[in-house]
Amino acid sequence: MIRVVKGDRDTCLSFIEELKTRVGETEKSVEETVSDILKKVKSGGDEAVKAYSRKFDGWTPETLELSRTEMKELSKDCDPSFLESLRRAAANIREFHARQKQQSRIDPMGNGVITGQRVRGLHRVGVYVPGGTAGYPSSVLMNVIPAQVAEVGEIIMVTPPGRTGKPDPNILAAALVAGVDRVFLMGGAQAVAALAYGTESVPKVDKIVGPGNIFVATAKKQLYGVVDIDMIAGPSEILIVADDSANPEYLAADLMSQAEHDRLASAILITNSEQLAAETVKALYRQVETLSRKEIIEASLDRFGAVIVCESMEQAVEFANDLAPEHLEVCCQDPFEYLGRLDNAGSVFLGHYSPEPLGDYFAGANHVLPTGGTARFFSPLSVDDFIKKSSFIYYPKEELLKAADDIIRLAETEELTAHANSIRVRKEL
């Protein structure tokens, strides 16, 4: 079910290259299908969206938008204890992201020059939320709350209805808790297109965030530039760095918590303890028998899982930085010893009692994370993703004249004589 290898640096790097095969180029047929959907929604508006809803979802709403009253009524079907947990998670997420908020600033100088920066939330953001078996209320919280903290003007959620014509009540409950302004019943590439271009009933947004299938991801990629997007997420992944203080039962459970996402998920343990490696493998075989997604877990671990026995913890840290995983657990006696050296990871989980699902659901840090090694240069979704900044400058006449010769010289060196002239006329007249 999972391979066990002795890992020198070359072996580790080879394994990283193997993992990259999970994220191939999108099939040309998918690209073409999505491109056609985008064009038809752009020209056909609501009717085109409804036509694709009939084709792909088997149901067409009379009106795309779900009213506030309908949201509240449908969410009454939710388990009250689930709602309580949802509210507690939302409070933690809101508190964490509130600390990320930036302030506008104005910087006056003694010579009369004034510079500064204005920070404000985007005007309107669209949040895509999958339905059906891929409906995750936690993703609603993680995508909506940072936008709300950033003071986005309006937050639009889109989610496909089931074949009954009704959306997932748990998703609607999460939307109410998180503070979504409007909800539209539509999914797939057509929903992304409606958000990007706007239709008769769907307002055009400035940015689209949220997970989706290959058609949703491809639509977001093709529309980047028309709107901003969060990221193109790949298959989920976890790397656990562990020493001999770790509990193999915990490690096995955490590896499978990511492997159950899909057959392309990656779950890797790297340790300097051969005994821990062997005991973790035994725990994997034992625990998987009790889990509902056993076949998916086994397929994932077979293709993209590994237990790597390295020569030292220093080598484990090097491998972690080379892999740049989405989730990185540090199950060591003193996890904070390694924190300052782990530069490339979406989110880091420290110690034996900070498993990855804690971050997925409750601790407050965002679970929308870079995958496929992009944690080398991308960051988790945050309040920063929902703001825009403008700088401003004010110079009195005397200060501009002091700087005039330098500006003219720089402009003329670049052969931009009109730039130089803009300064010169103020100097000479």
Residues catalogued as catalytic = 326-327
The tokens for 114 are 């004034």
Count CA atoms closer than 13 A to 265's CA, side-chain side.
Answer: 25
Angle formed at CA 15 by CA 9 and CA 18, multiple of 5 degrees: 145
Helix/strand number for the chain, H first, E second: 16, 15
* Phi, psi of 350, deg, nearest 5: -105, 125
Q: Could you tell me which residues are annotated as the binding site?
A: 128, 190, 213, 236, 258, 261, 327, 360, 414, 419
Which of 108, 123, 117 is CA-nearest to residue 390? Answer: 117
- Say how far apart CA 300 and CA 257 lie, in whole Å: 11
Q: Could you tell me which residues are annotated as the binding site for Zn(2+)?
A: 258, 261, 360, 419
Q: Bridge partners of 348?
A: 328
Look at the block and give the residue holding tokens 């993992």: 19
Alpha-helical segments (H) within 75-149: 80-98, 137-149
CB 184 within 8 A of CB 65: yes
- Reading phi first (left if > 0) and then psi (alpha if -120 to 50, else beta), residue 75 is in alpha
Q: What is the dihedral of CA 147, 153, 159, 165, to 10 degrees?
A: 140
Q: Could you tell me which residues are annotated as the binding site for NAD(+)?
A: 128, 190, 213
Q: Could you tell me which residues are annotated as the binding site for substrate?
A: 236, 258, 261, 327, 360, 414, 419
SS3 label, residue 127: strand
- Say how far apart CA 296 and CA 190 lie, in whole Å: 29
Which of 114, 346, 138, 120 is CA-nearest to residue 233? Answer: 346
Q: Bridge partners of 121?
A: 387
How far is CA 19 from its chain centroid? 20
